[in-house]
Structure 1
Amino acid sequence: MTITQAPGKTTTTQAPAPRPRVNLEPYLYLLPHALLFFVFTVYPVGYGIYIATHRWDLLAETQAFVGSEYFRNLFTPGTPQFEFFWRTLINTAFFTVVTVPLLVASSLGLAVLLHRPIFGRTFFRAVFFMPGILTVSVMGILWRWMFDNQIGLVNAARELMTGAGPIPWLSTEGLAWIPIVVGTVWWTVGFNMTLYLAALSNVSQSLYEAASLDGATSGQQFRYITWPMLGPITLFVTVTTALASFQLFGQSLVITNGGPSRSTQSVTQYITEEAFTNSQYSSAAAMGFVFGLFMLVLTAAQFRIMARDVQAVEQK
């Protein structure tokens, strides 16, 4: 602050405040992630929108702008895109509705059993976890052979026990889902089981001891202690399992190749077919955006509902 004296009066002027220095260090730490996020997320999304709004032809010098034509095809009855996209989306939703409860329940049940001090529990934990290290192609080939219409192990065991003829599992609508669902549960149950085992190890044993002194049965202890304490991990397992199930691709491709009559074809498998078999890149890009938006809305709704239930249990 400076003071200026003039004849007959004194004026005071405020000195300008020093400008704050910008600390660039946090932004330098964020820069690598920002570059990767732009290169692998922002740019592909923007380029995908460009392809979906143009009639994309790899051999053409210019790509004609068509606006929302390919998006409208997905919502216009009578177009092949409308018929096959929504049919395969229903197939994927059916697979998700069936597998998510099975995976959550089976992984939780195995974790509760193998959390107890039983003989050989380390061996059984490894047995249930080991299928998860297989690639989807190996898993698919294994379960395709297991349910083969003629030489499959399931048909051979059935014929040995009952004397009945083979069942055409892979070529019958409805039955073709069985090897896909069973194989997926066998393949992925070990990972969720491990998550539940880690969560169970964090539950204080004093809670069970106090419940036992009060006369609570094992079922009551599970209902009022184990299940509420596993609420956050159950939310995580359910959301991640649903996301993985909606991305069904390899199992149906290897085991049934989407058949019979596209009854087991997933939406991602159809999008891939539309792009790389039919060379309809713009149509496939539009399908990808619609499917991605559907998954985003579904996941947000699922997370909101289950998070509210977890908070209600914790408040109790």
Structure 2
Amino acid sequence: MTATPVSTPQETVRRGSGPRPRRRVSLEPYLYLLPHAALFFVFTVYPIGYGLYIAMHRWDLLSGRQPFVGLEFFRNLFIAGTPQADFFWRTLWNTTFFTLISVPLLVAAALGLALLLHRPIFGRAFFRAVFFMPGILTVSVMGILWRWMFDNQIGLVNAARELTGAPPIPWLSTEGLAWIPIIVGTIWWTLGFNMTLYLAALGNISQSFYEAAELDGATAGQQFRFITWPLLTPITLFVVITTALASFQLFGQSLVITNGGPNRSTQSVIQYITEEGFSNSQISSAAAMGFVFGLLMLVLTAAQFRLMARDVQSSGEEK
């Protein structure tokens, strides 16, 4: 028998202090991320970078020259008296006005319809489908429909007024009144989606809350105030923020129904940016406007995440 050699402590330390084999990095996770990364770069990073390049150069499609001008087009948006500043901030206010009016109406109408259609009434599924179906229409179809209904001469609304002996109203050519078909048409067009969200949220509320409230003698109004509304707060926050973001992207409704008129009173900021870039051939100015408007949208989105995080945190503390 041969004796098994025994390592001394010094040899063990010397053997362990040698260079360790390097861990091989696996490329497999990065290969799974590669398709998304490629699409993100092509359709997000590259357009943003190229748009910033255009905004900082005087882009001329005819001559092919693009001299560097730095922040000139950005400064034009903040210098009073320039056409870009006047029209940009005016159309931004038009879009903000549309958002401030349409969002509360959309949220209130969707919640009211959801409360009605959540009850076991006859034809409930039919009415749910009726209110949801306008949302499948394209914005062009919706715009043509509501432009025809509020037409100054042959509109259905004016025809109904003539039956009662009232004179026709020039809806589409009167400042202030031109917003009515845009706002009413948008509510009719997008109401069903918010209503569906509220219906899903109402279906998740346990009936035991209402049964306990009825035993305590709570009225229907008290049940809505102390049970339904607090439990709908997360979905209401989601509906308000997403509806506001969608409203700030107003474009097709004002373009088709009023074409931004009269006197640009219903022109949205995206519609003006499109006009500046393609109709006026001011590509660099339109790119700068797009970046400023995009930053404003980022601020609104950050506020959305902050409010949602605060709501989730408060809900967790209550539990």
1:151 aligns with 2:132: no
What is the CA-CA distance between 1:312 and the residue it aligns to? 3.8
* 1:204 maps to 2:220: no
Paired with 1:177 and 1:248, the residues of 2 have a C-alpha distance of: 12
SS in 1 for 2:115: helix
Aligned partner of 1:252 in structure 2 is 254
Q: Which piece of structure 1 moves more, 151-160 or 80-89?
A: 151-160
Q: Distance in 2 between matches of 1:96 and 1:11?
A: 73
Change (3 A) 1:143 1:99: same
Higher fraction of strand: 1
CA contact (8 A) 1:170 1:256 kept: yes
Structure 2 unaligned residues grouped into runs of 5+:
1-6
Residues 206-231 of structure 1, C-alpha deviations (whole Å, 9 max, x = no match): 11111211212111111222112222
**1:251 and 1:5 mapped to 2: Cα distance?**
83
Q: Which residue of 2 aligns with 1:44?
A: 47
What is the deviation of 1:302? 4.2
Deviation of 1:29 (Å)? 1.7
SS in 1 for 2:14: strand
In structure 1, runs of 5+ residues without a counterpart are none
Cα offset, 1:59, TM superposition: 2.4
The letter of the residue matching 1:157 is: A
> Residue 191 of structure 1 corresponds to which residue in structure 2?
193
Q: Which moved more, 1:100-109 or 1:16-25?
A: 16-25
* Matched residue, 2:173: 171
Find the aligned partners of 1:311 and 1:118 in 2 and give their Cα distance. 37
Q: Secondary structure at the match of 1:12?
A: helix
Paired position in structure 1 for 2:136: 133
1:27 corresponds to 2:25: no
Report the TM-score, using the length of structure 2 for normalisation: 0.92
1:92 aligned onto 2:95:
yes
Query: What is the distance in 2 between the residues matched to 1:28 and 1:127?
Result: 46
Q: Which residue of 1 aligns with 2:65?
A: 62
Structure 1 outlier segments of 4+, above 6 Å:
2-6
Residues 3 and 12 in structure 1, CA contact (< 8 A), matched pair in contact too: no
- Report if aligned partners of 2:234, 2:311 keep a CA contact under 8 Å in 1: no
CA RMSD of aligned residues (A): 1.9
Amino acid at match of 2:30: Y
Give the aligned partner of residue 262 of structure 1: 264
Q: Is the 8 A contact 2:182 2:257 kept in 1?
A: yes
Partner of 1:215: 217
Q: Is residue 193 of structure 2 the alignment partner of residue 181 of structure 1?
A: no
Partner of 1:86: helix, strand, or coil?
Answer: helix
Q: Deviations over 1:218-275 (max 9, x none)?
A: 1111122211222221122111111110000000000000000000000000000000
- Does 1:226 pair with 2:224? no
Q: 1:148 to 1:11 in 2, by over 3 A?
A: closer
* Deviation of the 1:12 alpha carbon: 3.1
Partner of 2:294: 292
Shift of 1:18: 3.0
2:151 is paired with a residue whose SS is coil
How many corresponding residue pairs?
A: 311
Please state whether the residue corresponding to 1:89 is helix, strand or coil: helix
Q: Which moved more, 1:124-133 or 1:197-206?
A: 197-206
Per-residue deviation, 1:19: 2.3
Equivalent in 63, 83, 88 of residue 86 of structure 2:
83
CA apart distance, 1:195: 1.1
Residue 307 of structure 1, CA deviation: 4.7
Distance of aligned partners of 1:215 and 1:63 in 2 relative to their CA distance in 1, 3 Å threshold: same
The letter of the residue matching 1:131 is: P
Question: Percent identity between the aligned chains?
Answer: 80
What TM-score does the superposition give when structure 1 sets the normalisation length? 0.93
Report the Cα distance in structure 1 between the residues aligned to 2:29 and 2:288, rounded to whole angstroms: 37
Q: Aligned pair in 2 of structure 1 residues 315, 228: CA closer, same or farther (>3 Å)?
A: farther
CA contact (8 A) 1:54 1:65 kept: yes
